[in-house]
Amino acid sequence: MASPAPANSLRSGPDANGHFGIFGGRYVAETLMPLILQVEEAYTAAKLDPEFQREFEYYQKHYIGRPSPLFFAERLTNHFGGGKLYFKRDELNHTGAHKINNVIGQALLARRMGKTKIIAETGAGQHGVATATACALFGMECEVFMGAVDVERQKPNVDRMRLLGAKVHPVTSGSSTLKDAMNEALRYWVSKPDTHFYIIGTVAGPHPYPAMVRDFQSVIGIETREQMLEAEGRLPDTLVAAIGGGSNAMGLFHPFLDDTDVALVGVEAGGYGIDTGQHAASLTGGRPGVLHGNRTYLLQDEDGQITEAHSISAGLDYPGIGPEHSWLHELGRVNYVSVTDDEALEAFALCTRKEGIIPALEPSHALAHVAKMIGDLPKDHIVVMNLCGRGDKDVDAVIPKLEAKGLV
Amino acid sequence: MGAGVGRIDAKFASLKEQGRAGLGVFITAGDPDAKTSAALLKGLPGAGADMVEFGMPFTDPMADGPAIQEASQRALKGGMTLKGTLALVREFRQDNQDMPIILMGYYNPIYAYGVDAFLTDALDAGADGLIVVDLPPEEDDELCIPALKKDMAFIRLATPTTDDKRLPKVLTNTAGFVYYVSIAGITGTASASNDMITSAVERLKRHTDLPVCVGFGIKTAQQAADVAKVADGAIVGTAVVNAIKDSLDGEGRATDKTVPTTLDFVKTLADGVRGART
């Protein structure tokens, strides 16, 4: 976890009530309030307990396989003709994405609290798989809520969850995607307040989840910092990460927030293009609102009704974003951009052929942005991109699209 | 009679005089269309409802079960907005000055409307109280305090998970009445036992002088009557919304039966509540 932040640091948020500026907070029904207050109390105590830290680090090292490598992507660097591109290889974690970093932390917390039953929501299925994995490891019951649309487009992950012993609930309310899965998980949680712990998969939801998930994910940035100092003797110039809810990006960015010479770029899912309205870019195309327990940028209509997001990537297909990102956006500390489905697909194919790494569609968005900007940079400009997940889960969905483009 | 908190207080004073509990009925504004909603509202006092919880439709009703989720979706599909909801309240108030209207829903549409503008317009239209599910006391500065300053009641939900330690916090800054959610869960699912409801109401009464109404899981006239024996009001939502749904045609549109059958059902609930203590 991150070292204590100095005064006036951008790393000291949120305040006692979970606010990052006007964002964050605890906008939940009274039925949920006692539950999230319990989680907050338990997490505050765990943070100060060296035994909890020791356990967390043990599983990070021996189960997840951390630290993940920092890899110089030499062939892509040559291909782009500018800058120097490194990948933070979080796709090499056990279960194939960064999601497990947070899940192990929350599962250990649940165990400390004496909870033996776990609820999770999932979009692409990576968080669901990670949660099912941790539950198998710790002998806990696991129930995963997943939009019916996502159950279809991420079938391999559904089967993995079932193999691991989890019960997958397809959610058919609303748009049948990630936001509806989260609604349903919250509804389920309020009906089982005594026995269940809800492991949220991203830096969103009511306080303390955005801060807690960030803390568990910040190992990504802490390692990147050390590895970069070792490899290059200095900090990187630019960090790039894809953003749905924003947990992999926050994990990478957070330890660098006070290093103002390090440029931070978050890449949202532009779907068919921001102009079409069919996208998942909450910061680029949304405005502040309240959903799922926090105030943050949301895709919504004039009347405050939440609109459906669209992305080729199920993991980015969410009409909101973590509140800390909204805050960093308004402060201007992080630059948020977007790329389209097509651009992400091309990056997916490029990474596969040039580096022998099949990336998930989520980090393919980050790479698509890198492809746009890195060619013009000087050769000594170091860019680190978070390769936050592997693409095996996407192969079935991607192949026909790449065939149509003549890219395979 | 004053609007806002005043109208709610007057209603509960009158119920006390009559020696009975009140019936609160929840319907979603614009379910399945504005015209039907207006007719239902207009008919509710005659059917014996003492108070209306008027649902402000929202795409993502986190604390509601499938029945009220679908009611929201029908209303939104029919073009209902928060402005439209207030217009329905205004229309109702032309002929009725007596029945409190509590707007019930989620914060985002209000936030999008603008808190000050919303409070001004809602009071002007004739609404008396607010139940905003996703605004706990921790976020009182958002809407609760501004509402109370304008004499709009901000009604709080207390739940089985709200323990004695937390209850005072929940009861601070509330007005009108306290809404006891009788089950841990969402609307329209299980029902609590009479004993559980009785002891919960007694517990609340030890902490507050406000009237206590009970909702979530009351589906029949008998259950409403049981609640009316021990609480100051019984609130029925899902069962009424289901009565509306059952009267719709295959495409989810209102029929000739929608208003009369729904009001008939409300009448059976009202008879249950009115006969409870005799």
Same domain, residue pair A240 and A375: yes
Contact present, A59 and A52 (Cβ < 8 Å): no
Chain A residue with minimal CA distance to B186? A187
Other beta carbons within 10 angstroms of residue B229's beta carbon come to 15
Whole-number pLDDT of residue B1? 47
Question: What domain count does chain B have?
Answer: 1
Collapse the DSSP code of A143 into the 3-class scheme (helix H, G, I; strand E, B; otherwise coil) and give the result: strand
Whole-number pLDDT of residue A3? 56
Kindly report which listed range (A5-19, A219-233, A384-398) carries the lowest average pLDDT score. A5-19
Residues ≥6 apart with Cβ < 8 Å to A80:
A370, A371, A374, A375
Question: What domain count does chain A have?
Answer: 2
pLDDT in tens, B109-129: 999 999 999 999 999 999 999
Same domain, residue pair A241 and A350: yes
Residue A249: C-alpha distances to residues A75, A210, A245, A264 (Å): 24, 12, 9, 9
Domain at A332, CATH number: 3.40.50.1100
**In which domain, by residue range, is A199 found?**
20-62+99-213
> In what helix (H) or strand (E) does residue A241 lie, and over which residues does it extend?
strand A238-243
- Which of B31, B50, B53, B232 is catalytic? The answer is B53
d(CA A366, CA A357): 14
Question: Per-residue pLDDT averaged across A315-330, rounded?
Answer: 95
For residue A31, the chain B residues in CB contact (below 8 A) are 63, 157, 159, 161, 181, 184-185
Given a cut of 50, the residues of chain B with pLDDT beneath it are: 1
Same domain, residue pair A109 and A92: no
At which of A198, A213, A228 does a domain end? A213
User: What is the per-residue burial (b if ≥16 Cβ within 10 Å, else e) of A50-67?
Assistant: eebeebbeebbeeebebb
pLDDT in tens, A28-41: 999 899 999 999 99
Domain presence at residue B47: yes
Domain at B37, CATH number: 3.20.20.70
- Which of B33, B50, B64, B226 is catalytic? The answer is B64
Closest CA to B270 of B245, B241, B242, B233: B233
> In what helix (H) or strand (E) does residue A331 lie, and over which residues does it extend?
helix A323-331
Domain presence at residue A191: yes
CA B76 to chain A, closest CA, distance in angstroms equals: 9
Task: Verify whether the Cβ–Cβ distance A302 to B59 is below 8 Å.
Answer: no
Classify residue B47 as left (phi > 0), alpha (psi -120 to 50) or beta: alpha
Domain presence at residue B236: yes
Whole-number pLDDT of residue B113? 98
Instruction: Name the residue facing A193 among B157, B170, B184 (closest C-beta).
Output: B184
Whole-number pLDDT of residue B86? 98
User: In which residue are the tokens 């040039």 written?
Assistant: A354
Q: Is any Cβ of chain B less than 8 angstroms from the Cβ of A305?
A: yes
pLDDT surpasses 60 at A2 = no
CA B146 to chain A, closest CA, distance in angstroms equals: 17
Whole-number pLDDT of residue A129? 97
Closest CA to A146 of A163, A126, A116, A117: A126
Domain presence at residue A373: yes
Interface test with A, best of B81, B121, B134, B180 (most A CBs within 10 A): B134
For residue B158, the chain A residues in CB contact (below 8 A) are 30
Q: Is any Cβ of chain B less than 8 angstroms from the Cβ of A277?
A: no
Active-site residue B264, yes or no?
A: no
At which of A213, A236, A266 does a domain end? A213
Domain presence at residue B275: no
Handedness of CA A272, A274, A275, A276 (dihedral sign): positive
Same domain, residue pair A262 and A354: yes
pLDDT in tens, A84-110: 999 999 999 999 999 999 999 999 999
Instruction: Name the residue facing B184 among A25, A173, A191 (closest C-beta).
Output: A191
Same domain, residue pair A229 and A172: no
Closest CA to A211 of A20, A408, A402, A48: A20
Residues ≥6 apart with Cβ < 8 Å to A41:
none
pTM: 0.95
Domain presence at residue A396: yes
Token pair for residue A174?
A: 């609303």
Q: Which amino acid is present at A319?
A: P
At which of A213, A239, A264 does a domain end? A213
Same domain, residue pair A89 and A195: no
Instruction: Name the residue facing A304 among B108, B170, B189 (closest C-beta).
Output: B108
Q: Which amino acid is present at B259?
A: V
- Average pLDDT over chain A reads 95
Other beta carbons within 10 angstroms of residue B60's beta carbon come to 24
Residue B221: C-alpha distances to residues A255, A290, B105, B183, B276 (Å): 60, 37, 25, 18, 10
Same domain, residue pair A132 and A40: yes
Chain B residue with minimal CA distance to A176? B60
Same domain, residue pair A197 and A72: no
**In which domain, by residue range, is B105 found?**
5-270
Same domain, residue pair A234 and A328: yes
For residue B161, the chain A residues in CB contact (below 8 A) are 30-31, 33-35, 193
Interface test with A, best of B60, B72, B74, B106 (most A CBs within 10 A): B60
pLDDT surpasses 80 at A285 = yes
Domain presence at residue B276: no
Q: Which amino acid is present at B63?
A: A
Query: What interface predicted TM-score (ipTM) does this complex get?
Result: 0.94
Token pair for residue A397?
A: 């969905």
Question: Per-residue pLDDT averaged across A2-16, rounded?
Answer: 80
Q: Is any Cβ of chain B less than 8 angstroms from the Cβ of A25?
A: yes
Same domain, residue pair A157 and A274: no
Same domain, residue pair A190 and A300: no
Same domain, residue pair A384 and A397: yes
Domain presence at residue B264: yes
Domain presence at residue A13: no
In chain B, where does DSSP find H-type helix? 5-18, 34-47, 66-77, 82-93, 107-113, 115-125, 144-149, 167-171, 194-207, 221-230, 238-246, 258-275
Domain presence at residue B278: no
